[in-house]
Structure 1
Amino acid sequence: MGEKRSCGKGIFFDVDDTLYDHLQPLREALRDVLGTGGEFPYEEVYHRFRYYSDMLSASHGAVNAQGAERDLQDMRVKRAQLALAEFGVHVTDPEAARIQQQYLERQFRITPFPGVMDLISDLQAAGHVVGLITNGPERHQMAKIKALAMDAAIPSERIFISGAVGYDKPDPRLFAFVNERTGTKASQSYYVGDSWRNDVVGALEAGWTAVWFNHRRVEPESEHQPHYTAGSYRELAELLLA
């Protein structure tokens, strides 16, 4: 059973690189495994790393579901190899696996971007339904949500992890599932996320209002048009609280 229909908007946030700096654990993993220095183009590599993560996940299908651990690990190794190869760095399967392991371990030592908690609190006080929608295995993503203390800010029934639901972003069925469970309507639902493929395209194809959190100032990957673009939590607050 879903919640009763809300009079406010449904406003849902992505987690990785939307609520916290997802580049930091990758930067530390690359430094540890490959010995990359301060001049290494970490942000550019991160963008391609996320691009290949989304692309390979889509090609595998339901890579975050229970029982798909081998596909998930294969995707994680290949995304590192493909991203780094674009910058002239070629890593073996064992090296890519080590990067992945270090990257995962550092994802639990994270803090929210400044302004995250205040915005969530203000949106809730204004009567909106506020929640999270994130891709990934349930246990892994929930550990990050707890590390960010988001489990204390957002009710568990408004936290949606693709590995538990059975659909990965950008599948519109995931967004429809969220509407059903939270009593919200697609026409009154907003999704805030950094990923072009998963968050912008996913929200648009589900009939939601897409808010692209483009704080890394990257270029669009297709002809889709997000309804809004913001580069900081100050800009997000001005938009969502208007």
Structure 2
Amino acid sequence: MNRLFFPDHKKAILFDMNDTLVDRQQSRELHFTELLRDYTGRWSAPPEFSPEHVYARYMAEQKKRAGKSITLQDKQACLKAALTPYGFPVTDRWMKQFFQEWRKSRARPAALYPHVRDTLRELVKHYMLGIVSNSPRRNVQAQLEKLRLTDVFPPDRVFCSKKGAYRKPQPAMFHHVLSQLKLKPGEAVMVGDSWKNDISGSVKLGIDTVWLQTSAARPGLRRIGKTRVAVIQEFRQLRNLFLPGG
């Protein structure tokens, strides 16, 4: 894809956090398997035991319950079913403790998508970078600190929804961001994975957008009315859109 954006016209690139920079699915799986490996280390595991296979079975059991609200008891039943083939002495007390620890692990560093860190380091040399997220600010800020990205996204460029006030895709959220950064809509580009929250919400204010869609057949352009939307499959393709020589 040819370059679309230049620093003499665009001053800032705004990013969604979860599922744009951070791979939440990989983060959940990584924390699950690490915790399970630690918990089962005291047991005599059969040769075929694999925490990764247990996680896959656990998720498969959850899919069987799709369409209904999943309770803690449901999750425990899914984990028990995933562990049954290995003959571990799984008890309700053990599973309750496991899920408590898994929830706590969310405060640990998340997994970035491939090429996120090096691409951001290149982009920040030419553009102001910011975060626009519907997640609580304390969570976003904690993740940025643990990921060592606060120099790329300083606190005054991290914008999060406020309960009862605004959130994506509401225009007020984007108005607030532009106002704080002293930008006109045409001077910013929003990058995100959600068509509703990141793309259509920005376009309504005249902000150009890049849609990160990993399932796209190829990078290219889509349109909302007369407005074009750049579509990329992976994060490093942003270099082609924003940097000289791609």
Task: Give me the TM-score of the superposition, normalised by structure 2.
Answer: 0.63
Task: Please give the alpha-carbon distance, in whole angstroms, between the structure 2 residues aligned to 1:153 and 1:213.
Answer: 20
Larger radius of gyration: 2
Which runs of structure 2 are paired with 1:85-100 in the superposition (5 Å)? 85-86=65-66, 91-92=70-71, 95=74
> Paired residue for 1:20?
22
Change in 2 beyond 3 A, CA 1:198/1:224: farther
> Paired residue for 1:142?
141
> Are positions 1:109 and 2:89 aligned together?
no
Consecutive unaligned residues of structure 1, counting only runs of 5 or more, are 1-5, 46-80
Deviations 1:49-100 (A, max 9, x none): xxxxxxxxxxxxxxxxxxxxxxxxxxxxxxxx9x87437x873355569769
Task: Please give the alpha-carbon distance, in whole angstroms, between the structure 1 residues aligned to 2:229 and 2:32.
Answer: 35
Which runs of structure 2 are paired with 1:181-196 in the superposition (5 Å)? 181-196=180-195
> Paired residue for 1:65?
none
2:9 and 2:187 in contact (8 A); partners too = no
Change in 2 beyond 3 A, CA 1:92/1:118: closer
1:28 and 1:103 in contact (8 A); partners too = no
SS of equivalent to 1:184: coil
> Paired residue for 2:41?
none
SS of equivalent to 2:124: helix
Consecutive unaligned residues of structure 2, counting only runs of 5 or more, are 1-7, 37-51, 77-95
Post-superposition offset of 1:238: 0.6
Which runs of structure 2 are paired with 1:46-125 in the superposition (5 Å)? 85-86=65-66, 91-92=70-71, 95=74, 102-103=102-103, 105-106=105-106, 108-125=108-125
2:22 and 2:112 in contact (8 A); partners too = yes
Q: Which of 227, 235, 238 is matched with 2:237 structurally? A: 235
> Paired residue for 1:174?
173
> Paired residue for 1:215?
214
Task: Please give the alpha-carbon distance, in whole angstroms, between the structure 2 residues aligned to 1:101 and 1:134.
Answer: 26
Bigger helix share: 1
> Paired residue for 2:85?
none
Residue-pair matches, total? 192
Task: Give me the TM-score of the superposition, normalised by structure 1.
Answer: 0.63
